[in-house]
Amino acid sequence: MNATQSYLGYKILFEAMVRFSAGISEVKSLERLPYEISRHLKYLINFQNFRFYYTVPEGMDLIMVDKVGYTSYVLSCQLDPDTLEAEVMETGIPGHIKCPETGDNLHCWKFANGKDQHSLIRIQSHDTLSLAENSIPLIKVINKMVSTRVENLKMVDLIHRQNRKLENLTVALQSKNDEVRELNRMQEATIQEKTASLKSSNSKLKALIQFNSHQLREPLTRVLGMIAIKDDIPQSEFISDILPLMQESVVDLDFAVREVIERSELLNEEMETT
Q: Does 225 bind another protein (CB under 8 A)?
A: yes
Q: Which helix (H) or strand (E) holds 55?
A: strand 49-56
Q: Does 224 bind another protein (CB under 8 A)?
A: yes
Q: Does 249 bind another protein (CB under 8 A)?
A: yes
Report the half-sphere exposure of 194 (CA within 13 A, side-chain side): 6
Q: Does 155 bind another protein (CB under 8 A)?
A: no
Instruction: From 110-118, 165-173, 177-185, 211-219, give the range in contact with another protein by CB under 8 A.
Output: 211-219
Integer Cα distance of 246 and 253 in angstroms:
11
Question: Would you tell me how many other CB atoms lie within 10 Å of the CB of residue 185?
Answer: 10
Q: Does 251 bind another protein (CB under 8 A)?
A: no
Residues contacting 163, CB < 8 A, separation 6+: none
Is 38 or 249 the residue whose CB approaches another protein more closely?
249
Q: Tell me the site size for another protein, rule CB under 8 A.
A: 20
Q: Does 152 bind another protein (CB under 8 A)?
A: no
Instruction: From 2-10, 44-52, 198-206, 208-216, give the range in contact with another protein by CB under 8 A.
Output: 208-216
From candidates 97, 183, 186, 233, binder to another protein by CB under 8 A:
233
* Sheet with 105-114: strands ordered across: 71-77, 59-66, 49-56, 117-125, 105-114, 95-98
Is 2 or 235 the residue whose CB approaches another protein more closely?
235
Is 194 or 206 the residue whose CB approaches another protein more closely?
206
Of the candidates 209, 199, 190, 204, the one whose C-alpha atom is nearest the C-alpha of residue 269 is: 204
Integer Cα distance of 192 and 220 in angstroms:
42
Task: Output the smallest distance, CB 265 to another protein, in A.
Answer: 24
For the chain, first and last CA: distance in Å? 110
Q: Does 217 bind another protein (CB under 8 A)?
A: yes
Task: Name the site residues for another protein (rule: CB under 8 A).
Answer: 210, 213-214, 217-218, 220-222, 224-226, 228-229, 232-233, 241-242, 245, 248-249
